[in-house]
């Protein structure tokens, strides 16, 4: 078997693959996306090409197909044993990582690839942004500058959503979040209706639950995830990518009069850059160090990126 065996930060064994070794595990998995699809699906500052998507995500698509098949077979065995005919449980994939690392690109490309499996499964994608507390609540609690930190989310609602999905409930609502106005839109939602596979992307999706006051465990989002992915990169690269994206948004989306960040577009580039760097170093970096990066060792798969934003290594948990 290819790859080097190593210990993760928490003593959990992973097998590490170079990019070439990982690519070889694609086997005969076909590429069902076009170059135009990849351009449409990638994030603003993510340079991923069709070739890179093939090398990084076709082996992962193949691996996930095996996991989904195994879970479905287990469900069939349980049905036979219990003599029931209950509907199969959706397979939930969690994708975590820092701001600007490319989680959204990973989630959207996987979403498109999995939909094109020969079995044509129903695949849905949600982000945890919709479960952020409204800005009015964050301001009332004095934590607006901690938006994205665990305490800024309606974690109970997120857990209820995932519990409903896992129980096979139909038409489960997800609050709608607007990056333009930087807030949850009151009364708006998207509906998720019994998917075969659900992809959930978010900063803190892999955080474990904590014991309650009486010592009883409290469920958290990670309890409902069947396969977890952490997209990883060096902090210096993340800072650079964040600022590159910030400057691009300043020239595009921030210029929309309705944008929450319109003030940055009206500033000089130097002045806006100071605000962008402050946002990174006082909000996003502390959140990464304190809350997001510590969950990396809980992931089933770690996609490690190099300074060029392209895949460099893959770590796969074996147990």
Provide the pLDDT for residue 72: 86
Pinpoint the alpha helices (H) of the chain.
19-24, 35-41, 50-82, 103-115, 135-141, 155-166, 235-251, 262-266, 269-279, 285-287
Share of the chain above pLDDT 70, in %: 93
pLDDT at 225 exceeding the cut of 50: yes
**Mean pLDDT, rounded, of the chain:** 92
Segment 62-87 shows an average pLDDT of 88
Provide the pLDDT for residue 1: 41
Q: Which domains does the chain have, with CATH numbers?
A: 4-317 (3.40.50.300)
Residue of higher predicted confidence among 43 and 182: 182
pLDDT at 209 exceeding the cut of 80: no
Exposed / middle / buried, residue 187 (Cβ in 10 Å: 0-12, 13-18, 19+): exposed
């Amino acid at each position: 078997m290819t790859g080097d065996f190593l210990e993760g930060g928490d003593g959990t064994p992973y097998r590490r693959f170079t990019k070439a070794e990982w690519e070889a595990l694609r086997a005969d998995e076909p590429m069902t996306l076009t170059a135009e699809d990849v351009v449409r699906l990638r994030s603003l500052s993510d340079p991923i090409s069709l070739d890179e998507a093939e090398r990084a995500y076709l082996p992962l698509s193949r691996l996930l197909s095996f996991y989904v098949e195994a879970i479905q077979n287990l469900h069939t065995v349980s049905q036979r044993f219990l003599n029931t005919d209950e509907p199969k449980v959706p397979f939930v994939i969690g994708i975590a990582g820092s701001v600007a690392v490319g989680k959204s690109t990973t989630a959207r490309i996987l979403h498109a690839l999995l939909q094109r499996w020969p079995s044509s499964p129903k695949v849905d994608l949600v982000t945890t942004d919709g479960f952020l507390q409204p800005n009015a609540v964050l301001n009332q609690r004095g934590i607006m500058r901690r938006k994205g930190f665990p305490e800024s989310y309606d974690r109970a609602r997120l857990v209820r959503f995932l519990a409903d999905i896992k129980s096979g409930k139909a038409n489960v609502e997800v609050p709608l979040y607007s990056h333009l106005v930087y807030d949850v839109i009151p009364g708006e939602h998207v509906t998720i209706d019994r998917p075969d596979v659900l992809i959930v992307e978010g900063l803190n999706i892999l955080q474990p639950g904590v014991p309650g006051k009486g010592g009883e465990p409290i469920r958290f989002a990670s309890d409902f995830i069947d396969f977890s992915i952490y997209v990883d990169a060096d902090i210096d690269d993340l800072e650079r990518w964040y600022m590159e994206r910030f400057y691009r948004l300043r020239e595009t989306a921030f210029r929309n009069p309705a944008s929450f960040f319109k003030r940055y577009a009206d500033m000089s580039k130097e002045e806006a850059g100071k605000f962008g760097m402050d946002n990174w170093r006082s909000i996003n970096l502390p959140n990464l160090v304190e809350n997001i990066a510590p969950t990396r060792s809980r992931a089933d798969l770690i996609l490690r990126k190099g300074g060029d934003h392209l895949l460099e290594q893959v770590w796969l948990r074996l147990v």
